[in-house]
Amino acid sequence: MEKPSLIKVFLIFMKISAIGFGGGYGILPLMREELVEKRKIMSTSDFYHAIAQAQSLPGPIAVNTSIFVGLKLFGILGAVILTFGVVVPPFFAILIIANLIDRFGNLEVFRNFLKGARIAIVVIIIDFAVRLSRRNLRDISSAVIIFIGVLLTFFLKIPVILAFLITAFFIYIVPHKKDIKSIRIDEK
């Protein structure tokens, strides 16, 4: 793996952030493509670890991921610079889009464009989720439990964090229940 310059990775993040639609989860597949597949700056494992760490913190996933990628590749300065690379383009895009919506929001063609963009974003996120799942699902029971968690979130409106905790419990704790029971505390 090559060690790129901070400015090169900053420009990659600016580009990804400028062309990426759909928020953080829409940008993650673009990050993976650029950093792992295309430029081989990071290993797949390191990238997925950065995402896992990013999800453990509150805040936007793309920003948090850029922080962990920056830390991994360049230290604290890298985390700060790559965060700016992810944040600056959407800031200006929001200003421009707000102006466009104000001017053209009542036009049918503009509303149809936004509907189409939403569909494209969903497809990109589903593709990324499938790729991530292939790497991380251990067996069919894990897949079924995760699917049930998704259904609980969508149909019963259970908060995502609660669905996550429930699915994690059934995937990681329940299979090891016999191991937990074998732990004894000596009372002497």
pLDDT at 31 over 80: yes
Arithmetic mean of pLDDT, 93-97: 87
* Dihedral pair phi/psi, residue 24, rounded to 5°: -60, -45
The closest alpha carbon to 57, from 43, 44, 71, 45, belongs to: 71
Q: Does the pLDDT value for residue 38 go beyond 70? A: yes
Per-residue confidence (pLDDT) for residue 43, from 0 to 100: 93
According to the model, what pLDDT value does residue 79 have?
Answer: 95
How many beta carbons lie within 10 A of that of residue 84, not counting itself?
17
pTM exceeds cut of 0.75: no
